[in-house]
A and B are shown apart, each in its own frame.
Chain A
Amino acid sequence: MTAAQIIFLITAAVILGSAFMVVTTKNLVHAALWLIVTLFGAAVLFATLNAGFIAVVQVVIYIGAIAILFIFAVMLTRRSMTDTGPGLNRGWWLSAAIALLTFGGLVWLVSGWGGFTKAAPAYPSGFDAVAALAHALVSPEAFVLPFEVASVLLLAALVGAVYIAFQRKGEE
């Protein structure tokens, strides 16, 4: 086994374990903190795949913004820090079955894919993935339109956020 494989196995185990804790722990803030561990594990996986930009973005956006948003939401809505009710509702077996089916389906679909046995082509020496990404995102012959559309999408998200917040303010 190579060092990269060992790192992958450890990271994957941490991701799975923490994801399991997210859904089983009764303490909502703990769940949010375990979610941060899961998201960080994903960032580590990106880093081992040499996708540095995505790894850092994962931390900046998911941990720096979305996890914080979750914790704020928990603090706003829950009176006590621990959920006293049962952790599972009556439909748990149904959702477990659906999750298992989906997972099985995904495994079945992906198992036919030939990419697992092939080694990825090595990067040419001096290749800078971030610079290549930057050029692809902005240059006129590549993805400039999606780049601009992304800002419209963000605008829509902002307007939506304002709308939701406006309703909340009206209720107070």
Chain B
Amino acid sequence: MQSDWTFIGLFLIVGALIPAAAIVVSALLSPRKPNPIKDSTYECGIETVGENWVQFKAQYYIFALVFLVFDVETVFLFPWALSLNQLGLFAVVEGIIFIGILVAGLVYAWRKGMLEWV
């Protein structure tokens, strides 16, 4: 098992080095002639107004919150899925209860209008 993770670690290193090498080679070979017009922020040719900050909807945050709950849930479901073949119907009933409780939460969030992109 540990050798598996050594392999993943090596993959991580090589996987980072090759794209980085592409950027470095390109930086060495490419010309560098900056000027203020070229370096200005690109907005279809219109001059940029203000900062890059825009007012974000609170909805992004709410979706991330709801997502977090269901993400944790799905992580719990993986061990359940693994042991299903050994435990049979008993595990299925467990899973149905587990998912059922969270579907109740989803219905609640839905009814409260949390899933609307307003």
On A, residues with C-beta under 8 Å from B are: 7, 44, 47-48, 50, 52-53, 55, 57, 60-61, 64-66, 68-69, 72-73, 75-76, 79-81, 123, 129-131, 133-135, 137-140, 144, 147-148, 150-152, 154-155, 157-159, 161-162, 164-166, 168-169, 172
Contact = CB atoms under 8 A, between A and B. Distances in A.
Q: Place the interface of chain B in its size category.
A: 35 or more
B75 A57 contact: yes
User: Could you tell me the dominant secondary structure of chain A's interface residues?
Assistant: helix
A24 to B, nearest CB: 23
B4 A162 contact: no
Contacts, number: 141
B46 to A, nearest CB: 22
User: Could you tell me the dominant secondary structure of chain B's interface residues?
Assistant: helix
A162 B112 contact: yes
Contacts of B91: 138
Given A48-B5, A65-B71, A139 B87 contact: yes
Contacts of B5: 47-48, 50, 52, 55
A67 to B, nearest CB: 10
B64 A68 contact: yes
A158 B83 contact: no
B1 A138 contact: no
B97 A138 contact: no
